[in-house]
Chain A
Amino acid sequence: MKKYNVVTSISYPKKGAMGKTGNWRVFKPILDKEKCVKCLRCWIFCPEATIIRNKDNTVDIDYEYCKGCGICANVCKVNAIELEREGARK
């Protein structure tokens, strides 16, 4: 990454600047790919940009940084995303 020689303090972009925020999560969103209709509502409304949009408009969830707010499950029109308590499934 390009570093700048400036007198003031400067921060550089980094993934996970506050650490792995996935460990804030209480409820984990589980995506059912068969129900998904590729409307991309979860992708645009994810506050954390952890819903990854693939080239063919299917989506994946980045559990490393997902904070588990549940907006994706709430905006999904076909209920393809369900929330499950962390650690419920062994």
Chain B
Amino acid sequence: MALKDLPTKECYIPGSAACPGCPATIALRIVYKALGKNTVKVVPACCTAVIESLHPHTSFDIPTMNIAFEAAAAGASGVEAGLRMQGKTDTTVVAWAGDGGTYDIGIQALSGALERNTNFIYICYNNEIYSNTGIQRSGATPYGAWTTTTVLGKTEFRKEMGEIIMAHHIPYSAQTCIAYPEDLFKKLRKAKSINGPKYIEIMAPCPPGWRFPMEKTVEMGTMAVETGAWALYEVEKDKITFNGKSKLILEGKIDRKPIDDWIIYQGRFRHLFRPKKDTKRIKEIEEHIEKMWERYRSCYL
């Protein structure tokens, strides 16, 4: 698939409230292209609740329901049940939440919806912070990163949501990144064609939250995959397949780039480089990622 094969239809309308260089709107545009207009979206409190813009106007040309922070998956279950009773089974129901609404606040509703076998797609766009409320730490924030609540750098490692989802043994789950639109599009189309609960997580580097210049959004996404900090994979009926660069890293055909290449551009890791390079903590980040890949190799290769 090439970029020119993607549909031209836009359901995202210009003139929204998103920050310049927002990764969520890049992801939203591709999601809308892949799922088409016959879609209902459920949005909890997250950046997207702001990007929608102010009442009485909206920037999304798709039915969207706003709901409480922890209730994205529960709300989507209700919408799906309602549509099913009306006989509208061809409508795709999407829950679209940030990493705060998925990793921390929404995890019980998500786990419940997956266990109930609700026929919906849960999409988590992961920018590794609560960026809407002002850059607080979340369960997805990596070790050593600055946020407004971890001023000297986070002291814990992030959790692996992909593997928590895998433990639910759902028909389809995937991890992808905004820097690879074809990969994202393909995974969404596949998710749409499968019946049952689906989970897709999108890495979305946030310029104001990660403190990097807004034109580098896509570059940061590419670097996250190339340094191995983020893996592209899909799990279909408990069989895991790595995609793109992550596949080459898993098979050892290319080496991971050093993590410095990625974090040096991000202001949230600035205290690791200035005034003196904190080699101990950078080494800890590197070792954590290496351990993750060793686990991937031993379990999934």
A residues apposed to B, CB below 8 Å: 9-21, 24-25, 38-41, 43-50, 53, 57, 62, 64-65, 67-71, 73-75
Task: Report the interface size for chain B: residues with CB under 8 A from the other chain.
Answer: 39
Q: Is the CB of B21 within 8 A of A69?
A: yes
Q: Is the CB of A50 within 8 A of B14?
A: yes
Question: Using a CB-CB cutoff of 8 Å, which residues 1-47 of chain B contact chain A?
Answer: 3-4, 6, 8, 10, 12-18, 20-23, 25-26, 29-30
Task: Point out the residues of chain A lying under 8 angstroms from B207, CB to CB.
Answer: 69
Task: Choose one: B13, B26, B218, B219; the contact of A13 (CB below 8 Å).
Answer: B13
Q: How far is the CA of A59 from the CA of B14 in the complex (A)?
A: 16
Pull 19 A–B residue pairs with CB atoms less than 8 Å apart, ordered by A.
A9-B56, A11-B52, A11-B58, A12-B56, A13-B61, A14-B57, A16-B13, A17-B13, A17-B52, A43-B3, A45-B181, A47-B29, A48-B14, A64-B14, A68-B20, A69-B20, A69-B21, A70-B213, A75-B218
Q: Is the CB of B215 within 8 A of A21?
A: no
Q: Is the CB of A13 within 8 A of B30?
A: no
B residues apposed to A, CB below 8 Å: 3-4, 6, 8, 10, 12-18, 20-23, 25-26, 29-30, 52-61, 181, 207, 213-219
Q: Is the CB of A21 within 8 A of B16?
A: yes
Q: Is the CB of B10 within 8 A of A70?
A: no
Tell me the minimal C-beta distance from A34 to chain B in angstroms.
20
Q: Is the CB of A62 within 8 A of B55?
A: no
Task: Point out the residues of chain A lying under 8 angstroms from B23, CB to CB.
Answer: 47
Q: How far is the CA of A72 from the CA of B219 in the complex (A)?
A: 11
Task: Point out the residues of chain B lying under 8 angstroms from A71, CB to CB.
Answer: 21, 214-215, 217-218
